[in-house]
Structure 1
Amino acid sequence: MRKLARAVFCLLLAMSSMISCSREAHWVMFRGEQSKGYTSEKVYPPLAVKWKLKLQESPGEKRSFNPPIVVDDTIYFGSNDGNFYALDVESGYMRWVFKTLSPINSLPYADDEKVYFGSSDGYLYAVDRESGEKVWDFNTRSPVNSTVIGYEDGIVFTSDVGASYFFSAEGELQHQIPNPVWLSHSFQIQDHIMYFAPGPETNPHSFGAYDIRARDYLWFIDTWDDAPTWYSFPAKKGKILHYATSRLYVDGWLLSYYGINARNGEIEWLREEPAVLPVWQDIDHYTLFEDSLELLDYLAPALWRDLVIYSSGDNVLRAFKGKTGTSAWRREFLQPASSSPIVAGDRVYVGLRGSLDEETLEKPYPSLLVCLSARTGKVLWEFETDGDILSAPVIAGGWIIFGTDNSYFYVLEEVF
């Protein structure tokens, strides 16, 4: 009986492995396909936990957990505990851990052999994807809390109040542009143009479109006078570049949504609204905003068909017509969004913050993952999570992947 049982077990294991290998699981670009906050892959609720992992906790606030990337059968991500993890997507098995000296808030990039990421210890690391061994590193002497983007046969990344660096995959510095102002820099590259690059030395309080091949700016936006507190990652569709800003004022935030001409930087449309925040408890507006400042996709738009969809850290999800900025739909919740949105097929996924009564330690509103119709904003499904979802979920191979501020890492899958 033992031999037969073992043979059956081995057969089932082999079949499971074949099924696993047949499922493509790739999410290697920040914000999905063409960085639009979108994937054509469809994942339909109800969903259940495939596996859930408690990460090593770090002292202090745990408000930073930038999205992982997924390559084949492995999830790669950095954590506030200073570790960079490689996990098996099927089981959660830890393939390897790479230790740095400080929190890792950057978003990684992977090629065929290596995975690249920055750390608050000032280094950019290139690590072998299979073994977790360091291949090369570079000391920027300033925290590296940016996205790391693949460009041609190399990578691009930015250090806080340092520079934007252009490296070959072998670790050769090819070019750099100064960054004397910006922190936690998120950007994208399309058609050899970097949106947004830190501004030129003649106007450091600016950002703009930088032609990498010509090593020159096509245009830039001056931010010196009356500058917002936060500028989001931009998403491009056609000739229009979409992004959002947040400006703090006495009674809350002013949210601004832009559609600008990607060729010349001129504003095509602008919509401004005050943030809508909970009325059921006292909220420190600045603290609520400050909690999200290390999240590289904070305020980032999601593009679906002719719509641009935003969650802005307040109680409202907003969808605008991409060409004109007119409102398409709006969905108001009783609690603020904790993540930016991601669209899979025709479904929007976003995290909502839980609340905690400090006296009773009860939660009148739990932390949630919410699924809505991208077409109408109608709520279709909710899933309670252990802690607030921090960055937009990653969707790959039929799985939904995210981390929470309680140091939990989730992988969900379809029930049916």
Structure 2
Amino acid sequence: MKNDPNGEDLKLTSTRRHTLKLVAGATPTVIFGTGSATAQTQNRQQWAFEVEGSIESPPTVVDDTVFIGSLDTNLYAVDAETGDQQWTFETNGRIFSSPTVVDGNAYIGSHDKHLYAVNAETGEQQWTFETNGRIFSSPTAVGGTVYVGSRDNNLYAVDAETGNQQWAFETGDIVVSSPTIVDGIVYVGSHDNNLYAVDAETGDQQWAFETANSIASSPTVENDTIFVGSNDANLYAVDIKTGNLQWAFTTGGIVYSSPTVADGTVFVGSDGSNLYAINAETGEQRWVFETERIVYSSPTVVNGTVFVGCLDSNLYAVDVKTGNRQWAFETGDVVYSSPTVVDGTVFVGSYDNNLYALDADVSGSSEGSRVNLGTLGHHGDWNQQASSGESSSPKVDVRNVSLNPKEVTSTNETHVLTFAVENLSTDNGKDDFDIAMPSNVEVDNVSIVRSDGLEPTPSDPTPSSPIEFSVNPSTGDITNSPVEFEVELNLSPAGN
């Protein structure tokens, strides 16, 4: 769509899983959802934030702020929209760890052997906890406790408010794996070849599952199964209650990458230069995507696309069903960092010293198990799922979006916005959307013409109000069949 008076190109996109938004863009077309596989890399970058050292840390995005660590020893807070620095916090060692942000604090580990709590708004230190080894593991904070591994062979539980140690669980070797907490149990790997289940309150071992080599991969949980990679080149599926093997899938190399599960498929990278999609129930390969070098990065999934970094310097977007490449963005050096997607923007670090914000070409935010459980980077919604390991909110896809007519040329023109919504899960909940415009277009009136019986509220919205509707498969509010929306908009060029 183009507003002729200002000559500004516009596109239709999404700012979070529940939101429609018309914004300034690089192409004069209306697009939504899966995006274009031929989009140009040079148009994809929204901004780049340069630091003094390489970035291996996976980003965390909370309250419109990106938190990222760097090998220059600093933790950074960066405005998610502009890429401007908000504050920086200096440690005394390189930071490989990803920050966890909970209840106003950012928790980060450093190679100076300390776990830090930093005020997320100001960057001021709240407390520090010292271990006897470098911290590569990324902390996870659940229920007032921060859990983190150390190269002193221990998994620690630390009070999130005071920084006092609650307990330490000693393994037989270094712990670089990041802990995942589900239903009061901490799951973490060790270089002693074992995946451990540890009581989150007491630190008592529940069970251990032994692989044939060390575990650097961080576990993830979906339903009653734990998935974890090993340096023995296998991805394992383990029963969450007993620790018994369900299946093992052999990749082409060491599995440093941490898996994520979405819609019954496990996605994981390997040292064999591959990204795999594996049936979560059977362990059978669905497809494999070949890269030029090692896939150390941990994938994330958003609305039909899986994103992953690679040591060939690229961030890849791959179709979750076919394994076909949708696009690739080349940075200036290797990409160890695991991407996090929020509101249609991919955030990822590179060894070229930059944190990138890229147009994802899909709507919504990271929705796989890894990010939902707060492991190796997360967004603001993760903590709602951390206790159960299952999504507690609906997964709503929006598709077939069109605006007619596409050009805004005069005052108070009538335009019709149509789109379809479909619940991809069996979960209940609420969803909403709003209609927002860039600076050169004004919304004079919004009227819902058709919603196929969903009865959204308010029924007569103002231009600035979100429009909410129920998602309840049992009552048919949104079943697995798309529901059509038709919204009438009165638009004017700004200033007229």
TM-score > 0.5 by shorter chain: yes
1:77 is matched with 68
* 2:150 matches 1:159: yes
2:231 is matched with 246
CA distance in 1, matches of 2:143, 2:193: 29
Q: Secondary structure at the match of 1:405?
A: coil
CA distance in 2, matches of 1:343, 1:193: 25
1:361 is matched with none
Deviation at 1:152, TM superposition (A): 0.4
1:402 is matched with 348
Q: Secondary structure at the match of 2:155?
A: strand
Q: Secondary structure at the match of 2:226?
A: strand
Q: Secondary structure at the match of 2:52?
A: coil
| CA 1:368–1:205: 2 relative to 1, 3 Å | closer
For normalisation by structure 2, the TM-score amounts to 0.61
| CA 1:51–1:379: 2 relative to 1, 3 Å | same
Q: How do 1:4-403 residues align onto structure 2 when only pairs under 5 Å count?
A: 44-45=35-36, 46=39, 48-57=44-53, 62=54, 65-171=56-162, 172-196=164-188, 206-213=194-201, 215-222=203-210, 227-247=212-232, 255-275=233-253, 298-354=256-312, 367-403=313-349
2:452 is matched with none
CA distance in 1, matches of 2:133, 2:294: 33
* Unmatched tracts of structure 2, length 5 or more: 1-13, 18-31, 363-496
Deviations 1:120-140 (A, max 9, x none): 111111111222111111222
| CA 1:216–1:325: 2 relative to 1, 3 Å | same
CA distance in 1, matches of 2:200, 2:93: 31
Deviation at 1:197, TM superposition (A): 6.1
Deviation at 1:349, TM superposition (A): 1.3
Deviation at 1:382, TM superposition (A): 2.2
Q: Which amino acid aligns with 1:313?
A: D
CA distance in 1, matches of 2:267, 2:183: 24
Q: Secondary structure at the match of 1:246?
A: coil
Q: Which amino acid aligns with 2:64?
A: D
Larger fraction in helix: 1
For normalisation by structure 1, the TM-score amounts to 0.72
CA distance in 2, matches of 1:42, 1:190: 31
Deviations 1:347-386 (A, max 9, x none): 01122333xxxxxxxxxxxx32221110111222222222
Deviation at 1:309, TM superposition (A): 1.8
CA distance in 1, matches of 2:216, 2:136: 15
Q: Which amino acid aligns with 1:302?
A: T
Greater radius of gyration (CA): 2
Deviation at 1:74, TM superposition (A): 1.0
Asked if the contact 1:86/1:97 (under 8 Å) is kept, the reply is yes
Deviations 1:53-83 (A, max 9, x none): 22113xxxx5x61201111121111110101
Asked if the contact 1:69/1:76 (under 8 Å) is kept, the reply is yes
Deviation at 1:415, TM superposition (A): 6.9
Deviation at 1:168, TM superposition (A): 2.0
Deviation at 1:158, TM superposition (A): 2.1
CA distance in 1, matches of 2:288, 2:248: 17
| CA 1:120–1:334: 2 relative to 1, 3 Å | closer
| CA 1:273–1:152: 2 relative to 1, 3 Å | closer
Q: Which amino acid aligns with 1:119?
A: S
Asked if the contact 1:43/1:399 (under 8 Å) is kept, the reply is no
Q: Which amino acid aligns with 1:246?
A: N
Q: Secondary structure at the match of 2:186?
A: strand
| CA 1:342–1:197: 2 relative to 1, 3 Å | closer
Asked if the contact 1:43/1:414 (under 8 Å) is kept, the reply is no
Asked if the contact 1:178/1:198 (under 8 Å) is kept, the reply is no
* Unmatched tracts of structure 1, length 5 or more: 1-21, 26-40, 248-254, 276-288, 290-296, 355-366
Deviation at 1:222, TM superposition (A): 3.9
Deviation at 1:246, TM superposition (A): 2.4
CA distance in 2, matches of 1:387, 1:238: 37
Deviation at 1:176, TM superposition (A): 2.2
Stretch moving more, 172-181 or 322-331: 172-181
Deviation at 1:23, TM superposition (A): 5.1
Deviation at 1:324, TM superposition (A): 1.1
Deviations 1:258-281 (A, max 9, x none): 111111111111222444xxxxxx
Asked if the contact 1:76/1:86 (under 8 Å) is kept, the reply is yes
Deviation at 1:315, TM superposition (A): 2.6
Q: Which amino acid aligns with 2:204?
A: D
Asked if the contact 1:161/1:179 (under 8 Å) is kept, the reply is no
2:29 is matched with none
Asked if the contact 1:164/1:178 (under 8 Å) is kept, the reply is yes
Deviation at 1:410, TM superposition (A): 0.5
1:363 is matched with none
Q: Which amino acid aligns with 2:297?
A: S
Deviation at 1:173, TM superposition (A): 2.4
Asked if the contact 1:298/1:391 (under 8 Å) is kept, the reply is no
Q: Which amino acid aligns with 2:176?
A: S
| CA 1:268–1:123: 2 relative to 1, 3 Å | same
Q: Secondary structure at the match of 2:230?
A: strand
Deviation at 1:336, TM superposition (A): 4.0
Asked if the contact 1:372/1:378 (under 8 Å) is kept, the reply is yes
| CA 1:230–1:154: 2 relative to 1, 3 Å | closer
